[in-house]
Amino acid sequence: MLKQLLRTLLLLCAVVSLAACSSDSDAPESQAQTTLNLQLKVVPENIKVKEYKHLTVNFKELNTGFTVIQELNNTNLLKAVLPTGTYNITVEGSIVYTDNAGATEAKVGGVQTGVVINGTEQTKVIDISMKAQSSDLILEEVFFAGTKTPQGAMYFGDQYFKITNNTDKTLYADGMLLIQSAFMTNEKQDYSPNIIGTTFSAGAVIRIPGNGSTYPVLPGSSIIIAEDAINHLEFNSSSINLSQANFQIFKEDSDDIDNPAVPKMLNLFEKMVIHTQGYYAYVLARMPLGMTNEALVSQNSYTYTYNLTFGGDVYPMDGTAVKIPNEWITDAVNLSVQDSFQWLITSPSLDMGWTSVTSFDGDKNRFGKAVRRKVIGKTSEGKDILKDTNNSTVDFDHGVKPSLFN
């Protein structure tokens, strides 16, 4: 029995340049084993990696929960023997890269979901990206589920975004882009071109007005962007008063509600329709100085294609989105539903996880709930310090009471 246990442990820890090996659950004793040759590849390819300083690779088998964690030092290659199955593979760590300024250490991360590992031996490549460290405004809270009236009717006009200054300096909201993804987290397709590693595909883009110094946001303070900036309590006693919101989403050429006292967001590309179950990613971004709204769309629009399979038939499809370079993005959050999540639609450098308000599609208990960042401390002035590790799974509390309902 002891020899069998030792053989199993040696099998699980067979890696190249392995510093440590641990498991959160026991491997199935009789299950077939696969030798996995894994390469971790930094994207974009023009980054000159000098040293893969330290990398942690987490394998989690989706059916059994079997988990193995591998630690790598000074290498991006890993050889591991794993039970055959379907895995989520997550990578985090640090590299040293060189540019005109010399050598710089940077945090990196990557994730690949639903990886099928089977057969005697397999070779896989997983892209990893440098993590952006935001020094700008971030998304603190997204209230997308809406509410219900006392009579049981669904009510959606009270959706909102809460955007917060998590730094120690005054920032300006002027010109900030709020962007909804073109793709959905519950519907994975083989989109071409695949540009997620370097670019976010926008399905709707709105912008905060201002001349650059119109809308200051003090350290620890927030602004509210409301779907409809009215007192919703007049129509639904289970809702809130958003008539004092900082900005409103107003859709021209439609039967939308306008509060003349609240500045309108500028609509740059398509109409933003907030799904009541999440399903999209949202990012904040800033355009380069001097770029106009018209240039953003005209210079960055592109056509993507994919094949939609339905009922055994394949239908060629296409769509139009706006490319937002990842380096413009200050914050990102992927939203979904737990039992229908399929993929992240941002680069792992922006967000390595996702959050939700509910565990299954159509959950009637989702109404009146939001996703909100965790508070990890207080500043000397008593302001909340929000968790921001570029991983929405750990940064956000999910399915919580919206802060504006308190």
Residues 175 and 250 in one domain: yes
* Torsion angle (degrees, nearest 10) of CA 120, 123, 127, 128: 70
Joined together, the tokens standing for residue 138 give: 């971030």
Residues 145 and 104 in one domain: no
Check residue 374 and report its DSSP letter. Answer: P
- What 3-state DSSP class applies to 294? helix
Residues 75 and 216 in one domain: no
Nearest C-alpha neighbor of 204 from the set 334, 355, 320, 299: 320
Joined together, the tokens standing for residue 85 give: 């199955």
Interstrand relation of 171-172 and 266-269 (parallel, antiparallel or unpaired):
unpaired
Query: Could you give the number of structural domains in the chain?
Result: 2
Residues 184 and 221 in one domain: yes
* Torsion angle (degrees, nearest 10) of CA 266, 269, 274, 278: -130
Q: Residue 234: beta bridge partners?
A: none
Check residue 361 and report its DSSP letter. Answer: T
Residues 324 and 287 in one domain: yes
Residues 178 and 111 in one domain: no
Residues 59 and 117 in one domain: yes
Q: Looking up tokens 């006392």, which residue turns up? A: 150
Residue numbers of the domain that contains 76: 2-130
Question: Distance from CA of residue 16 to its chain's centroid?
Answer: 31
Residues 150 and 92 in one domain: no
Nearest C-alpha neighbor of 108 from the set 35, 43, 171, 12: 43
Backbone angles phi, psi at 7, to 5 degrees: -60, -40
pLDDT tens across the length of the chain (406 residues): 433 443 444 344 433 333 344 444 555 556 899 999 999 999 878 888 999 999 999 999 999 999 999 999 999 999 999 999 999 999 999 999 887 767 878 888 899 999 999 999 999 999 998 776 668 999 999 999 999 999 999 999 999 999 999 998 999 999 999 999 999 999 999 999 999 989 999 999 999 999 999 999 999 999 999 999 999 999 999 999 999 999 999 998 888 999 999 999 999 999 999 999 999 999 999 999 999 999 999 999 999 999 999 888 999 999 999 999 999 999 999 999 999 999 999 999 899 999 999 999 989 899 999 999 999 888 777 889 899 989 999 999 999 999 999 7
Give pTM, 2 decimals. Answer: 0.81
* Torsion angle (degrees, nearest 10) of CA 290, 294, 300, 303: 180
Final residue of a structural domain among 130, 146, 163: 130
Q: Residue 69 maps to which CATH number?
A: 2.60.40.1120
Residues 291 and 358 in one domain: yes
Q: What is the DSSP string of 196-215?
A: TTTEEEEEEEEE---SSSSS
Q: 193: cis peptide before it, omega within 30°? A: yes
Residues 248 and 121 in one domain: no
| Per-residue model confidence as pLDDT tens digits over 86-116 | 999 999 999 998 877 678 788 888 999 999 9
Check residue 267 and report its DSSP letter. Answer: E
Q: Is the dihedral of CA 145, 150, 155, 160 positive or negative?
A: negative
Final residue of a structural domain among 102, 130, 158: 130
Final residue of a structural domain among 130, 148, 175: 130
Residues 274 and 339 in one domain: yes
Q: For residues 354 and 334, give the distance between their C-alpha atoms in angstroms, rounded to a whole number.
A: 5
CB 135 within 8 A of CB 167: yes
Q: What is the DSSP string of 80-130?
A: EEEESEEEEEEEEEEEEEEETTEEEEEEEEEEEEEEEE-SSEEEEEEEEEE
Residues 167 and 114 in one domain: no
Q: Is the dihedral of CA 41, 42, 43, 47 positive or negative?
A: negative
